[in-house]
């Protein structure tokens, strides 16, 4: 239920309604020759070797931070990333996409949004990357304020089928 607050209270308590995005993750496996860290400047209540964790952002927030990525070997054609999640504990959201050399296509359940975007050319070369990011979240909830939760696994495999990165994520969007 929505409570009407005076506008001044909204300015002081931008996430008082709980509308926004929250997530936690664990990293299970990362290739010996690679590393990964994603740090947010604010909005998260814990951190580990892989960066910030237990994060919460409100719609319209400007999200800033730094990503440090080291990939120890090329990702050739045939490398994949996969998502295997359950939305609201029941609706499956599972897909596997090429890491490079083709489009990634999937449909986001609940909002029924088709996604089709080009991945970079193959191979994705071994690299060391450290770069800041600055991303403005949409001003309004894409779920129109309806609480949607998702939980599952994410993984990246190289062309030989070896795991480059795998982990679990729990997220709530409202
Ligand atoms: C691949 O994605 C791009 C957008 O990134 C799109 O313009 C193009 O039509 C897509 N190609 C195919 C074969 O779907």
DSSP string, 54-107: EEEE-TTPEEEEEEEEEE-S-B-TT-EEEEEEEETTTEEEEEEEESSSSEEEEE
Q: Residue 27 above 60 pLDDT?
A: yes
DSSP string, 140-152: S-TTTT--EEEEE
174 domain-assigned: no
Cβ-Cβ contacts under 8 Å for 159 (sequence gap 6 or more): 75, 76, 77, 78, 79
**pLDDT-based confidence at residue 18 (cuts at 50, 70, 90):** confident
172 domain-assigned: no
Residues 34, 72 contacting (CB under 8 angstroms)? yes
**pLDDT-based confidence at residue 17 (cuts at 50, 70, 90):** low
11 domain-assigned: yes
What is the rounded CA–CA span in Å between residue 100 and residue 78? 8
Which comes out higher in pLDDT, residue 31 or 11? 31
50 domain-assigned: yes
42 domain-assigned: yes
Spacing, Cα 114 to ligand 1 middle (Å): 12
Instruction: Tell me the Ramachandran region of residue 54: left when phi exceeds 0, alpha when psi lies from -120 to 50, beta otherwise.
Output: left
CA angle 77, 124, 152 (to 5 degrees): 80
168 domain-assigned: no
Spacing, Cα 105 to ligand 1 middle (Å): 9
pLDDT in tens, 55-114: 999 999 999 999 999 999 999 999 999 999 999 999 999 999 999 999 999 998 888 889
**pLDDT-based confidence at residue 12 (cuts at 50, 70, 90):** very low
pLDDT in tens, 133-170: 999 999 999 888 899 999 999 999 999 999 999 999 99
Which of 64, 66, 56 is closest to 14 using CA atoms? Answer: 56
117 lines ligand 1 (CB under 6 A): yes
Low-confidence winner among 10-14, 23-27, 58-62, 128-132 (lowest mean pLDDT)? 10-14
Name which residue sits closest to atom 12 of ligand 1, judged by CA.
103
Cβ-Cβ contacts under 8 Å for 72 (sequence gap 6 or more): 31, 32, 33, 34, 126
Name which residue sits closest to atom 13 of ligand 1, judged by CA.
103
Which comes out higher in pLDDT, residue 67 or 2? 67
83 domain-assigned: yes
130 domain-assigned: yes
Residues 139, 158 contacting (CB under 8 angstroms)? no
Q: Please give the model's pTM, rounded to 2 decimal places.
A: 0.77
Candidates 98, 115, 116: which one to mutate for ligand 1, based on the most atoms within 8 Å of Cβ? 116
103 lines ligand 1 (CB under 6 A): yes
**pLDDT-based confidence at residue 14 (cuts at 50, 70, 90):** very low
Which comes out higher in pLDDT, residue 157 or 3? 157
Spacing, Cα 135 to ligand 1 middle (Å): 24
Q: Which domain holds residue 80?
A: 4-162
Which residue(s) pair with 114 in the sheet? 107
Number of domains into which the chain is organized: 1
Q: Residue 1 above 80 pLDDT?
A: no
């Amino acid at each position: 239920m929505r409570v009407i607050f005076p506008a001044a209270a909204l300015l002081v308590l931008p996430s008082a309604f709980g509308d926004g995005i929250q997530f936690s993750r664990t990293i299970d496996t990362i290739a010996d020759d690679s590393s990964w860290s994603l740090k947010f400047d604010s909005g998260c209540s814990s951190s580990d070797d892989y960066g910030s964790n237990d994060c919460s952002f409100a719609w319209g927030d400007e999200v800033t931070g730094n990503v440090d990525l080291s990939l120890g070997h090329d990702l050739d054609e045939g490398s994949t990333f996969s998502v295997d999640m359950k939305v609201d504990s029941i609706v499956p959201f599972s897909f596997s996409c090429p890491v490079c050399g083709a489009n990634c296509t999937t449909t986001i359940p609940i909002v029924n949004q088709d996604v089709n975007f080009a991945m970079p050319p193959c191979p994705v070369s071994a690299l060391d990357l450290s770069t800041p990011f600055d991303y403005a979240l949409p001003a309004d909830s894409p779920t129109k304020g309806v609480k949607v939760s998702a939980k599952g696994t994410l993984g990246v495999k190289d062309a030989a089928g070896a795991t480059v990165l795998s982990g679990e994520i729990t997220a709530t969007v409202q």
